Amino acid sequence: MSKGLGKMQHAILENLDAAQTHNRHPNDVRWLWYSPVIELRLAEGIYDLRDTSRYLRRLWRVDYQTERRFQAAFSRAVRTLIHRKLLEPVTLIPIERVFTHYGAQAYFLHDLSEGTYWLRNRQQTRFVKRYGYKDNT
């Protein structure tokens, strides 16, 4: 078995930042829509793997015939990067700012002494940070 990184692993690490600039919010690159009435701004150094996957799909022009193979390769690459301690999964996600429309309440957020956090206890890895990245909050 190879000891180096594969093509997909290199692409994920190289494009984490580029994928965030292609996020959905036009004015700021780290906004995340939780629902139609709640927007969250992720803290610096937190990456949404859905954006990275979407960006790489567009970059490599993945079509519907190769979509399943791409998803499987992407998941294996992320799992290996986490195992090699190049990426670290995040379940307590630091949030810089919350914007709510129409007086909506964000009951899923927790205000701790260090700031606001979103606790996401799901088995699927969606949010990661580079291993060893220290939060400035």
Q: Is residue 100 part of a domain?
A: yes
Q: Is residue 41 part of a domain?
A: yes
Q: Is residue 137 part of a domain?
A: no
pLDDT in tens, 33-46: 666 777 788 888 99
Question: Which stretch of DSSP H or E encloses residue 41?
Answer: strand 38-42
What per-residue confidence (pLDDT) applies to 43?
A: 87
> Among all chains, which residue has been given the structure tokens 């799901």?
122
CA 108, 35, 130, 69 torsion: positive or negative? positive
Q: Is residue 116 part of a domain?
A: yes
Query: Which band of pLDDT confidence, cut at 50, 70 and 90, is reported for residue 137?
Result: very low
* 112: containing domain: 7-130
Report the domain count for the chain: 1
Note the Cα 131 to chain centre separation in Å. 14
Q: Is residue 1 part of a domain?
A: no
pLDDT in tens, 1-18: 567 899 999 999 999 988
pLDDT in tens, 59-105: 999 999 999 999 999 999 999 999 999 999 998 999 888 888 777 77
Q: Is residue 114 part of a domain?
A: yes
